[in-house]
Amino acid sequence: METTSTPTHCPYCALQCGMNITPLPQGGVEVTERPDFPVNRGALCGKGRTAARVLSPAARLTSPLVRSGGRLVEAGWDEALDRVAGALSSVRARGGPDAVGVFGGGGLTNEKAYGLGKFARVVLGTSQIDYNGRFCMSSAAAAGTRAFGLDRGLPFPLEDIPRTGCVVLVGSNLAETMPPSLRFFRELRDNGGTLIVVDPRRTRTAEQADLHLAPRPGTDLALALGLLHLVVAENRTDEEYIRERTTGWEEARAAAMAHWPEYVERITGVSVPRLRQAVRMFCEPESAMVLTARGPEQQSKGTDTVGAWINLCLATGRAGRPLSGYGCLTGQGNGQGGREHGQKADQLPGYRRLDDPAARRHVAEVWGVAPDSLPGPGRSAYELLDALGTDVRALLLMGSNPVVSAPRAAHVEERLRSLDFLAVCDVVLSETAELADVVLPVTQWAEETGTTTSLEGRVLLRRRAVAPPAGVRSDLEVLHGLAVRLGVEKGFPTDPEEVFGELRRASAGGPADYSGITYRRLADENGVFWPCPEVPAQDTGAAGAATGFPAPHRPAPATAHPGTPRLFLDRFATDDGRARFVAVAHRAGAEEPDAEYPLLLTTGRVVAQYQSGAQTRRVAELNAAAPGPFVELHPRLAARLGAAEGDPLAVVSRRGRAVAPARITAAIRPDTVFMPFHWPGEGRANTLTNPALDPVSKMPEFKTCAVRVELLGPRT
Ligand SMILES: Nc1nc2c(c(=O)[nH]1)N[C@H]1C(S)=C(S)[C@@H](COP(=O)(O)OP(=O)(O)OC[C@H]3O[C@@H](n4cnc5c(=O)[nH]c(N)nc54)[C@H](O)[C@@H]3O)O[C@H]1N2
Ligand SMILES: Nc1nc2c(c(=O)[nH]1)N[C@H]1C(S)=C(S)[C@@H](COP(=O)(O)OP(=O)(O)OC[C@H]3O[C@@H](n4cnc5c(=O)[nH]c(N)nc54)[C@H](O)[C@@H]3O)O[C@H]1N2
Ligand code: SF4
Ligand SMILES: [Mo]
What DSSP assignment string belongs to 532-572?
Answer: -PPPPHHHH--TTGGG--S-TTPPPPTT-----SS-SSS--
Q: Which is nearest to 423 in space by CA: 441, 443, 402, 396?
A: 396
Whether the per-residue pLDDT at 683 is higher than 50: the answer is yes
Cα–Cα distance measured from residue 556 to residue 535, given in angstroms and rounded to the nearest whole number: 10
With residue 652 as reference, give the H or E element that holds it.
Answer: strand 648-652
Kind of pairing, strands 648-652 and 705-711?
antiparallel
Q: What is the mean pLDDT of the chain?
A: 95
Which pLDDT belongs to residue 13?
98
Identify whether residues 162 and 299 lie together within a single domain. yes
* CA 179 distance to own-chain centroid: 17
In a domain, 531, yes or no: no
Asked if 597 and 671 count as a contact pair (C-beta separation under 8 A), the reply is no
Contact 295 CB / ligand 1 (< 6 Å): yes
What is the number of the ligand 2 atom nearest to the C-alpha of 137? 12
The protein residue with its alpha carbon nearest to ligand 3, atom 8, reads 48
Q: Same domain for 361 and 427?
A: yes
Q: With bands split at pLDDT 50, 70 and 90, how would you rate the model's confidence at 715? A: low
Asked whether the beta carbons of 385 and 406 are under 8 A apart, the reply is yes
pLDDT digits 0-9 by tens, 545-584: 433 334 444 455 568 999 999 999 999 999 999 999 999 9
Q: What is the DSSP string of 123-180?
A: II--S-EEEGGGGTTHHHHHHHHHHHS---S-SS-GGGGGGSSEEEEES--HHHHSGG
pLDDT tens figures, 445-469 = 999 999 999 999 999 999 999 999 9
Q: Residue 625, SS3?
A: helix
Per the structure, the complete domain to which residue 422 belongs is given by 65-135+335-445+471-511
The Cα 188–Cα 533 span in angstroms is 33
Pocket test for ligand 2, best of 385, 400, 603 (most atoms within 8 A of CB): 400
Give the CATH number, domain containing residue 22.
2.20.25
pLDDT at 552: 44
Last residue of a domain, one of 328, 357, 385: 328
Q: Kindly give the number of the ligand 3 atom that is closest to the alpha carbon of 177.
A: 1
On whether both 206 and 318 belong to a single domain, the answer is: yes
**Tens-digit pLDDT profile for residues 650-680:** 999 999 999 999 999 999 999 999 999 999 9
Question: d(Cα 494, Cα 473) in Å, to the nearest integer?
Answer: 10
Nearest residue by C-alpha to atom 1 in ligand 3: 178
pLDDT score recorded for residue 366: 98
Ligand number, closest to the Cα atom of 116: 2
Select from 483, 511, 539 the last residue of a domain: 511
**Residue 394: what pLDDT?**
98
Last residue of a domain, one of 284, 304, 328: 328
Answer for the pair 294, 171: CB distance below 8 angstroms, yes or no.
Answer: yes
Ligand 3 centroid – CA 187 distance (Å): 19
Question: From ligand 1's centre to the CA of 369, what distance in Å?
Answer: 41
| Residue 92 and residue 99 in contact, taking contact as beta carbons nearer than 8 Å | yes
Q: Are residues 268 and 353 in the same domain?
A: no
Residue 482 has pLDDT above 70, yes or no: yes
Beta carbon of 14 within 6 Å of any ligand 3 atom: no
485 inside domain: yes
Q: By C-alpha distance, which of 559, 582, 579, 557 is closest to 569?
A: 579
Question: Does residue 498 share a domain with residue 410?
Answer: yes
**pLDDT at residue 27 in the model:** 85
Whether 255 is covered by a domain: the verdict is yes
Ligand nearest to the Cα of 107, by number: 2
Task: Give residue 538's pLDDT.
Answer: 63
CA 9-158-577 angle, 5° bins? 115
Task: Verify that 25 and 90 share a domain, yes or no.
Answer: no
CA dist 651 and 657 (Å) reads 6
What total of structural domains would you count in the chain?
Answer: 4
Q: Is the pTM of this model over 0.85?
A: yes
Asked whether 47 lines ligand 3 (CB < 6 A), one says: yes
442 lines ligand 2 (CB under 6 A): yes
For residue 33, what are the CA distances in angstroms to 127, 196, 332?
43, 31, 21
Atom of ligand 3 nearest to the CA of 45: 6
Enter the DSSP assignment of 478.
Answer: H
What are the distances in angstroms from CA 260 to CA 265, 266, 316? 9, 10, 19
Site to probe by mutation for ligand 3, drawn from 19, 47, 610 as the one with most ligand atoms within 8 Å of Cβ, is 47
Concatenated DSSP letters for 391-429?
Answer: TB-EEEEES--HHHHSSSHHHHHHHHHT-SEEEEEESS-
Tens digit of pLDDT for each residue in 207-254? 999 999 999 999 999 999 999 999 999 999 999 999 999 999 999 999
The atom number, within ligand 1, closest to the CA of 703 reads 32
541, pLDDT greater than 50: no
Look at residue 714 in the predicted model and tell me its pLDDT: 62
In 3D space, the residue among 181, 186, 278, 182 whose CA is nearest the CA of residue 226 turns out to be 278
Q: What is the best residue among 8, 103, 132, 701 to mutate for testing ligand 2's pocket, by most ligand atoms within 8 Å of CB?
A: 132
The sign of the dihedral angle between the CA atoms of 506, 508, 513, 516 is positive
Asked whether residue 574 is assigned to any structural domain, the reply reads: no
Residue 111 is assigned to a structural domain of this protein: yes
For 562, counting Cβ atoms within 10 Å of its Cβ (0-12 exposed, 13-18 middle, 19+ buried), the class is exposed
116 with 163, same domain?
no
Q: Which pLDDT tens digit goes with each residue over 685-701?
A: 999 999 999 999 999 99
Q: Is 293 in the pocket of ligand 1 (CB under 6 A)?
A: yes
CA 353/CA 350 separation, integer angstroms: 9
Q: Measured from the CA of 444, which atom of ligand 2 is nearest?
A: 35
Q: With beta carbons less than 8 A apart as the criterion, state whether 704 and 299 touch.
A: yes
Ligand 2 proximity of 564 Cβ (cutoff 6 Å) = no
**Are 192 and 296 in a shared domain?**
yes
312-351 pLDDT tens trace: 999 999 999 999 999 999 999 999 999 999 999 999 999 9
Say if 701 falls within a structural domain: yes
For residue 325, the CA-to-ligand 4 centroid distance in Å is: 22
Residue nearest ligand 2's atom 33 by CA: 399
Q: Bridge-partner residues for 377, per DSSP?
A: none
Q: Is beta strand 579-580 parallel, antiparallel or unpaired with respect to 246-247? A: parallel
How many residues belong to the chain?
716
Report the pLDDT averaged over residues 166-182.
98
Is the CB of 689 within 6 Å of ligand 1?
no
Residue 536: what pLDDT?
83
Q: Backbone phi, then psi, for 693, in 5-degree steps?
A: -105, 145
> Is 535 inside any structural domain?
no
Residue 314 and residue 365 in one domain: no
Q: Give domain status of residue 570, yes or no.
A: no
Do 127 and 210 share a domain, yes or no? no
- Ligand 1 near 405 CB (within 6 A): no
Q: Could you tell me the CATH number of the domain that includes residue 683?
A: 2.40.40.20
Judge if 305 and 349 occupy the same domain. Answer: no
Ligand 3 contact, 148 CB (< 6 A): no
Phi and psi based region of residue 199 (left: phi greater than 0; alpha: psi -120 to 50; beta: remaining): beta
| 384 and 424 co-located in one domain | yes
Distance 19 CA to ligand 3 centre (A): 10
Indicate the pLDDT class of residue 25, thresholds 50, 70 and 90.
Answer: confident
How many angstroms is it from 705 CA to the middle of ligand 1? 16
Residue 369 belongs to domain with CATH number = 3.40.50.740
